[in-house]
Amino acid sequence: MLSLLSFAALAQSGASSVPSELYKPSDPNLTYWFVDNDSIQRLDYSGNWDFDGDGKKDSLTFIGNGGAHLYFHLRIRLSSDHKVKDYPYLNFDCPYLGTVSQLEKSFRDDSLPLRPQIVIHDFDGRGIDEIYLCYDSHWSPISKKWQKLGVTSRNIILKYENKDIVIRNFKRNLLAH
């Protein structure tokens, strides 16, 4: 089985696809691909989830920085407005998908070495998927703009409200849904 570190090595090696052993998706129909060329590395999960509730699948992509220590930032494009929303402050070493059960376990047992970085789920029961993110706040401090909105944690949720994606602190009680 590949370790998380081998994902970064794989990305930097010029490999054009990511082995499925690294990902254990709860949905066997999940599609993704990794693109690595001279100018960009991209892990693309587009076409798997509907974040804005319009019945069409949206675009979710992680864009690599091209550095020696490869980090990725989040990019979302909703089908309802087609606008690209980049989140350069949300950096991930290995943007792998986790499951709700892995997330629940990580909150129960703080001794676990890793918390899933990304979990897609309808956490609030509204029928629209949200994006849980645990990002590396040591390398990407919480932006002043987000602090003004009350974001104080590296455990956050991105959700669609009032025709836009908003960022909030993730509350553990959302795992009850």
pLDDT for 32: 64
Kindly report, residue by residue over 14-65, the tens digit of the pLDDT: 444 443 444 444 555 666 666 666 667 888 889 999 999 999 999 999 888 8
Q: Which one, of 122, 128, 115, 125, lies nearest residue 154 by Cα?
A: 115
Q: What is the DSSP string of 3-41?
A: -HHHHHHHHHTT-SS--GGG---SSTT---EEEE-SS-E
Give pLDDT tens digits for 146-161. 788 888 888 899 999 9
Which tokens belong to 41? 């590395």
3: burial class by Cβ within 10 Å (0-12, 13-18, 19+)? exposed
Bridge partners of residue 161, in order along the sequence: 164
- What is the per-residue pLDDT across 64-117, written as a single tens digit (0 to 9) for each? 887 677 788 899 999 999 999 998 878 787 777 888 988 888 888 877 667 788
Q: Which of 51, 18, 45 is nearest to 30 (CA)?
A: 45
What pLDDT does residue 71 have?
A: 82
Containing H/E element for 100?
helix 100-108
Q: Is 67 left (phi over 0), alpha (psi -120 to 50) or beta?
A: beta
Q: Which residue has the higher pLDDT, 115 or 2?
A: 115
Give the C-alpha separation, 174 to 149, whole Å: 19
Q: Tell me whether strands 118-121 and 84-92 are parallel, antiparallel or unpaired.
A: unpaired
- In angstroms, the CA 40 to CA 33 distance is 13
pLDDT of 11 over the 70 cut: no
DSSP per position, 111-125: TSS---SEEEE-TTS
